[in-house]
Amino acid sequence: MERWMGLDIGERRIGVAVSDWLGLTAQGVEVYRRRRGLKEDLAYLTERFRQLEATGLLIGFPRNMNGTVGPQADSVREFGRRLGERCGVETRNGIKLGLQLTHEELANMVGTSRQTVTSLLNTFKHENSIAYEGREISIINPDKLARWIM
What amino acid is encoded at 55 in this protein? T
- Output b/e per residue, 52-64; b: 16+ Cβ within 10 A: bebbbbbbbbbee
Q: Are residues 15 and 79 in the same domain?
A: yes
Q: What is the CA radius of gyration of the chain?
A: 15
Q: Are residues 105 and 134 in the same domain?
A: yes
First and final CA of the chain: distance in angstroms?
34
CATH number at residue 70: 3.30.420.140
Of 47 and 136, the one with more pLDDT: 47
Predicted confidence at residue 96, as pLDDT, reads 67
Q: How far apart are CA 37 and CA 55, in angstroms?
A: 25
pLDDT-derived band at 130 (thresholds 50, 70, 90) equals confident
Predicted confidence at residue 97, as pLDDT, reads 65
Q: Are residues 68 and 2 in the same domain?
A: yes
Predicted confidence at residue 113, as pLDDT, reads 78
Q: Are residues 111 and 79 in the same domain?
A: no
- What's the whole-model pTM score? 0.55
Count up the domains in the chain and report the number.
2
Examine the fold and report which residue of 41, 61, 87 is the final residue of a domain before the chain moves on. Answer: 87
Residue 22 is part of which domain span? 1-87
Cβ within 8 Å of residue 140, ≥6 positions away:
93, 94, 128, 129, 130, 131
The answer to whether residues 139 and 91 touch, using CB atoms and an 8 Å cutoff, is no
pLDDT in tens, 31-50: 999 887 777 888 888 888 88
Three-state DSSP at 75 gives helix
CATH number at residue 101: 1.10.10.10
Q: Are residues 9 and 79 in the same domain?
A: yes
Q: Are residues 77 and 104 in the same domain?
A: no
Predicted confidence at residue 72, as pLDDT, reads 67
Q: Are residues 82 and 101 in the same domain?
A: no
Q: Are residues 113 and 42 in the same domain?
A: no
Q: Are residues 137 and 94 in the same domain?
A: yes
Q: Across the chain, what does the average pLDDT equal?
A: 78
